[in-house]
Chains A and B, each alone.
Chain A
Amino acid sequence: MLNRKLSKKVLPLVLAATMLLTGCAGAQGNTGAVQTGSGAENALGDGMSAGTETVSTASAAVKETGTDTVTDTDAAGFLTTDGINDAPDIQGLTCNGKLRLDYAERFNVYYYNDGYKLFAVSDTEGNMTDYLLIPEGKDVPAGLSDDIITVQAPLDHIYMAASGSMCFFPALGCLDDVTTTAIDRDGWKIQEPIDALDDGRMKYAGKYSEPDYELLLNDGCDAAIESTMILHSPETQEMLQDLGIPVIIDRCSYEQDPFGRMEWVKFYGALMGKEQEADDYFSREITSLGNYKSYKDTGKTAAFFSVNSAGQIMAQKSDDFIPNLMKMAGGSYVFSDLKNPAGDSSIVNMTMEEFYNDAKDADYLIYNATIEAPLTGVKDLESKSKLFSDFKAVQNGNVWQVDNTWYQATDHVGNLLTDFHLMFTGGDEDQMTLLTHLS
Chain B
Amino acid sequence: MSDAEEVDGYIFQWSGGSGRAVITCQQVFEQDGQMYATIQFARSNGGTSAYTQVKALGQTVTGDNTFSIPVNIGENTPIQALTTAMSQPHWIDYVLYIAKSDGSDGTDGKSAADDTLDDSAPAITGLTALPAEGENNVHSDLVRLFPYEDDVWLIEVDMVKDTARENADEKKTSSAGEANEASDSAEMSDAFGNMEESAGDVATDVGSTSSVYTKKIVKYLVVPEDFDVPAGLDKQMVIIRRPADRTFVTSPEALKIISALDRTEDIIAVGIDAKDIDDSDVKAALNKKDGEDGKIYQAGTFSDWDLKTLILKKANLAVESSKILPRKEDTANQDMQAFEKMVSHAEQMDMPLFVDRSADEMDTLAKADWYRVYGVLFDAEDMGESLSHETAGDN
Q: Which residues of A contact B (CB under 8 A)?
A: 161-164, 182-183, 186-187, 207-210, 213-214, 217-218, 227-229, 231-236, 238-239, 242-244, 253-254, 308-310, 314, 340, 342, 344-347, 349, 368-374, 403-404, 407-408
Which residues of B307-337 have CB atoms within 8 Å of chain A's CB atoms? Answer: 307-308, 311-312, 314
Q: Which residue of A lies closest to B65 (CB)?
A: A309
Given A235-B204, A239-B348, A164 contacting B311 (CB threshold 8 A): no
**Which of B136-144, B147-155, B193-201, B272-280 forms part of the interface with chain A?**
B193-201
Closest to B345 in A: A239
Query: Interface readout for B90-115 with A: 1 if CB under 8 Å, 0 if not?
Result: 00000000000000000000000000
B229 proximal to A (CB < 8 A): no
Residues of A contacting B197 in the complex (Cβ-Cβ under 8 angstroms): 161-163, 182-183, 207-208, 227, 229
Given contacts A235-B206, A236-B348, contact A369 B87 (CB under 8 A): yes
Give the distance in Å from the alpha carbon of A373 to the alpha carbon of B185 in the complex.
17
Q: Is B383 an interface residue (CB 8 A)?
A: no
CB atoms of B348 and A344 under 8 A apart: no
16 contacts between A and B (CB under 8 A): A162-B194, A163-B197, A182-B197, A183-B197, A213-B311, A217-B308, A228-B190, A229-B194, A232-B203, A232-B204, A242-B345, A243-B308, A340-B189, A345-B189, A371-B87, A372-B86
B188 touching A308, Cβ below 8 Å: yes
Cβ-defined partner of B312 (8 Å) among A207, A214, A344: A214
Q: Which residue of B lies closest to A321 (CB)?
A: B193
The yes or no answer to B131 lying at the interface (CB within 8 A) is no
Q: Of A183, A210, A374, which contacts B196 at CB under 8 A? A: A183
Give, as a whole number of angstroms, the nearest-CB distance from A407 to chain B.
5
Q: Which of A187, A244, A347 contacts B192 (CB 8 A)?
A: A347
Complex CA gap A173/B193 in Å reads 25
With CB as the reference atom, state the residue of chain A lying closest to B180.
A232
B341 touches A214 (CB 8 A): no
Q: Shortest CB–CB separation between residue A416 and chain B, in angstroms?
A: 15
One of A207, A209, A370 near B87 (C-beta < 8 A): A370
CB pair A228–B89 under 8 Å, yes or no, is: no
**A235 in contact with B186 (CB, 8 Å):** no
Decide: A345 and B190 in contact? CB cutoff 8 A.
yes
Contacts between the two chains (Cβ within 8 Å), count:
138
The residues of B that contact A349 with a CB separation of less than 8 Å are 185
B179 close to A (CB within 8 Å)? yes
Inter-chain contacts of A163 with B (CB < 8 A): 194-197
B124 within 8 A of A: no
Q: Is the CB of A347 within 8 A of B188?
A: yes
State the 6 A-B residue pairs at the shortest beta-carbon distance, nearest first: A345-B189, A227-B194, A253-B193, A309-B50, A187-B196, A347-B189
Scoring B50, B188, B198, B341 by chain A CB atoms within 10 A of each residue's CB, the highest score goes to B188
Residues of B within 8 A of A162 (CB): 194, 197
User: In the complex, what residue of chain B is closest to A349 when comparing beta carbons?
Assistant: B185
Contact indicator B185/A404 (Cβ below 8 Å):
no
Restricting to B159-216, which residues have a CB under 8 Å from any CB of A?
Answer: 179, 182, 185-200, 202-206
How far, in angstroms, from A168 to B190 measured CA to CA in the complex?
21
- Pick the contact of B195: A217, A340, A371 (CB < 8 A): A371
Given A235-B344, A236-B348, A342-B185, decide whether A373 and B89 contact each other with a Cβ distance below 8 A: yes
Contact B193 A254 (CB under 8 A): yes
A210, B194: Cβ atoms closer than 8 Å: no
B45: interface (CB < 8 Å): no
How far does the alpha carbon of A291 sit from the alpha carbon of B205 in the complex, in Å?
Answer: 48
Residues in B334-354 with C-beta less than 8 Å from chain A: 341, 344-345, 347-349
Partner of A310, one of B48, B84, B193, B311: B48
Chain A min CB distance to B45 (Å): 13
The reply to whether B192 and A243 contact each other, CB–CB distance below 8 Å, is no
By a CB distance below 8 angstroms, the chain B residues around A403 are: 87
Bound: A214/B314 CA distance, A:
8
Chain B hits for A208, CB < 8 A = 197
